[in-house]
Amino acid sequence: KGNFSNGQEFILLGFPGNQYLQISLSVVFTTMYVLTIAGNVAIIALVMVHPHLQMPMYFFLSNLAFLEIWYTTACIPKAITIFLGNSRTIPYVSCILQMYFIFSLGCTEFFLLTAMAYDRYLAICYPLRYSTMMSSTKSAQLVLGSWVAGFVIISYPTSLMAKMSFCGSNVIDHFFCSPDSLVILSCSDTSEYQLATLTLAIIVILGSFLLTMVSYICIISTIVRIPSAQGRQKAFSTCSAHLIVVIMWYGSDIFLYVRYSTENSMEINKIVNTLGIIVTPLLNPFIYTLRNKEVKKAFWKKMKKMMTKE
């Protein structure tokens, strides 16, 4: 502890525990990170090479997979070095940049999930007009808009954070540069920052969640009117994987960010952050693969080709 200026370094504590626990955490995080990268790269490769997957739905899915790769990369490698005890320090500028990229990518994911829900709404509620209403140009515009909006919106609270002064401890009780931890360490007036982040959380998280739920209400009301059970099952199977991801993603982020106070237990916050930053990106490829017949078919077809070549 002592006086801390913005030109110095923060110290990331990670999770408390003995050396055995830290090594175990590093093994778990490394395994999950490798599986996350491999799973999402596999989805991108399948969508690129398989002609049956050249559709807006899978274009959105490949962009989500690409986002998940960078989202986890912005956090997990540094967390692993913390658990191994190699480097618990992070420069002030790197800390602010890490926070910016993690939350910009997270914000982009909200918009992408909303765009994917809108795509499923058009496909199920307007099947005959779907190809004209959701063209390749329209899907590209939605994806580009999601990426641009995500990175632009987070620039404002990040600029407010960069202006704060830190004059006490430089120890962050987290495994990445969490804004809650930085607010606790700041000796500046953080009311403007907290109001800005709460406002953005309500607009981005709750706003996109509301749009997504409206899309699914319309989807479900259309599905239940399909006369055949086979038709209902086929229609629901095209959006069930996305709905599972939406529930997992929004559940953790609403708990963490749609609030003004930062008085939640840091240990609870770290556990919930682990769910959102590590577990969800890991499960996404498996959820979409296991719940989607087209992706499974493309995957096994590719595997058979590789085995016959050998």
Q: CA 30 → CA 36, 37, 77, 132, 258, distances in Å?
A: 10, 11, 8, 44, 30
Measure the CA–CA gap between 303 and 239, rounded to whole angstroms: 25
Report the pLDDT value the prediction gives residue 37, as an integer from 0 to 100.
Answer: 94
Report the pLDDT value the prediction gives residue 2, as an integer from 0 to 100.
Answer: 45
Strand partners, 91: 9
- Contact of 156 with 166, CB cutoff 8 Å: no
Give the chain's domains with CATH numbers: 9-309 (1.20.1070.10)
Measure the CA–CA gap between 40 and 35, rounded to whole angstroms: 8
CA 271 to mean position of chain CA atoms: 15
CA 228 to mean position of chain CA atoms: 36
Q: Quote the tokens at residue 240.
A: 């069930």
Report the pLDDT value the prediction gives residue 26, as an integer from 0 to 100.
Answer: 92
Which amino acid would we find at residue 118? Answer: Y
- Contact of 28 with 195, CB cutoff 8 Å: no
| All residues at 6 or more sequence positions from 63 whose CB lies less than 8 Å from its CB, including other chains | 112, 143, 146
Q: Which residue has the tokens 């395994």?
A: 31
Query: In terms of Cα–Cα distance, which of 164, 172, 169, 170 is closest to 193?
Result: 164
Q: Where are the beta strands (DSSP E) in 39-198?
A: 89-91, 171-172
Which amino acid would we find at residue 165? Answer: S
**Residue ranges of the chain whose pLDDT lies below 50:** 1-3
Which amino acid would we find at residue 188? Answer: S
DSSP 78-123: HHHHHHHTS--EEEHHHHHHHHHHHHHHHHHHHHHHHHHHHHHHHH
3-state secondary structure of 171: strand
Quickly count: other Cβ atoms within 10 Å of residue 263's Cβ: 8
